[in-house]
Amino acid sequence: MGIYNTISPGITSAIWGMGVLYSIYLGLIIMEFIFLSRDDHKWSKFFGLGGLLVGIAAHSNLGAVFGFLVGRPLANGVFYPVYFILSAMITGCYLLFLMYGYKYRMNFDDSKEVFLKHLARLLGLLLAIMLFFEFWRFLTLIYGGVPERAETALHILKSPGFLIGELLLGILIPFSIILYTKAEAIHKIIWASLGGMVGIFFMRYDLVVDTLMYPMQTLKTIEYQLVPTWIEYSPTWTEWFIALGALGITLAMYYIGENFFFLDPKDHDDYFDHYEDIK
């Protein structure tokens, strides 16, 4: 498949570009990790910068897969290429809070607490930008009452998945905690990040389902056809188990990385300080 994808590129296909960019992105991240493990910061910075640039291109290209859907006015446009970059950064912040909370058992020294407070301020800024984007996105979708576009937007605004999952858990609760505590309540922000990851799931779920829920009309309008209704969807058990399996693989890989690699300099020093005892 990789060979065929290389010798017969679909330049005009956003999905082809997504596959190529994410493959390069993964390779650069792996190389960065190898050089970081060797404490070689010259090459790790080189591959890290390359990974950052290709990652931005990959995430924006993924958004373009939806932005190019001219048959779906809800998704068509420039919003999703930017939205995917922003939501990826928010997801990364949530994951960092959860990883630090798990790694250090919610007990942080001064240096890590300072880092997490700076990260909380960054997360607060990103969530504020997301709220700003979402406000204008829905206002422009609803304004003018354009058929399909406005109806779909109003339908989304009434759905529990958007209101509770995406808006409340994914944005408002973490943002309110950061704003109210001035990014000082690290433990509360870590717990809010757990809900934030649930909100990120609903962001991705609603993104796909909401884009396709409006019924498409046939061109044969003179023939009798049933009154179109909203397309309702719920995941099957197979899809749930596939998603849970993917989550399990991810957690297993993190556990392996956490226990078999020296991801913390202190762990590295403690190991070699007690090397004779370990032998």
- Digit-by-digit pLDDT tens for the chain (279 residues) are 666 766 677 778 888 888 888 889 999 999 998 888 888 888 999 999 999 999 999 999 999 999 998 888 888 888 999 999 999 999 999 999 999 998 888 888 888 899 999 999 999 999 999 999 999 999 999 998 888 889 889 989 988 889 999 999 999 999 999 999 999 999 999 999 999 999 999 998 888 888 888 887 766 666 666 667 788 888 899 999 999 999 999 889 888 887 777 666 665 555 445 544 544
Pair (104, 206) in one structural domain: yes
Q: 219 and 98, same structural domain?
A: yes
Between CA 44 and CA 37 the distance in angstroms is: 9
Q: Tell me, yes or no, if the pTM score tops 0.75.
A: yes
- How many distinct structural domains can be found in the chain? 3
**Claim to verify: residue 39 and residue 155 sit in the same structural domain:** no
Smallest Cα–Cα separation from 230: which of 119, 132, 167, 156? 156
Q: Which residue, among 207, 141, 198, has the nearest Cα to 173 in the 3D structure?
A: 198
**156 and 264 inside one domain:** no
Q: Which domain holds residue 274?
A: 239-279
- Do 189 and 98 belong together in one domain? yes
